[in-house]
Amino acid sequence: MGFLIFLALLVIGYLFGRLAEQRHYRSIHEREDALRRITVIPLRVPPPELLKHDSQLVSGSVVVSVDYFKTVAAGLRNLFGGRVGAYESLIDRARREATLRMQEKAQSLGAQTVYNVKYETSRIGDNAGQGLGSVEVLAYGTALTAPSVKA
């Protein structure tokens, strides 16, 4: 009986987790297309033509939790070693979502470029202190807006 419950939870976790992941990726693709005009560059110094622009720090943060299926799949992968593809998609979604949130803040300021973009990632463990639980990604950079006219 216990094995059947485990199997049912595994299947339900896989189906709903997959559905949520696909929905999130669809949203990410749509928003990336909409924000494509805002350039994100990792350079420490802005391009020369933008040196006179005003600047402001912008950031975007997201916490994404891992579903039950990914936890089980990662546990099985730990037995054999190798890539943990289930977690790779989790990190990819979190990084892209944080970047989009940063771009949205830059857009609200009227910026068209964000330079010196950096990422911070942290693990938020589950209640038992083991496993991944959730991952937080913070994207931050300097948004450049057209220079303000000073009287």
Confidence of residue 120 (pLDDT cuts 50, 70, 90): very high
User: What is the CATH classification number for the domain harbouring 137?
Assistant: 3.30.110.70
Establish if 57 belongs to a structural domain.
Answer: yes
Domain with 50, as residue range(s), is: 2-145
As for how many domains the chain has, the answer is 1
Establish if 49 belongs to a structural domain.
Answer: yes
Which of 12, 23, 116 has the alpha carbon at shortest distance from 64?
A: 23
Beta strands 113-124 and 54-65, pairing class: unpaired
Establish if 138 belongs to a structural domain.
Answer: yes
Establish if 151 belongs to a structural domain.
Answer: no
Q: What mean pLDDT value characterizes the chain?
A: 85
**Lowest mean pLDDT, pick from 1-10, 49-58, 103-112:** 1-10
- Integer CA distances (angstroms), 63 to 8, 125, 149, in order: 27, 12, 39
Please say whether the beta carbons of 87 and 72 come within 8 A. Answer: no
- Using a cut of 0.85, tell me whether the model's pTM lies above it: no
Residue 89 and residue 11: Cα distance in Å, rounded? 19
**Lowest mean pLDDT, pick from 2-6, 11-15, 21-25, 139-143:** 11-15
Task: Kindly give, in sequence order, each residue whose CB lies less than 8 Å from that of residue 147, ignoring residues fewer than 6 positions away.
Answer: 52, 53, 54
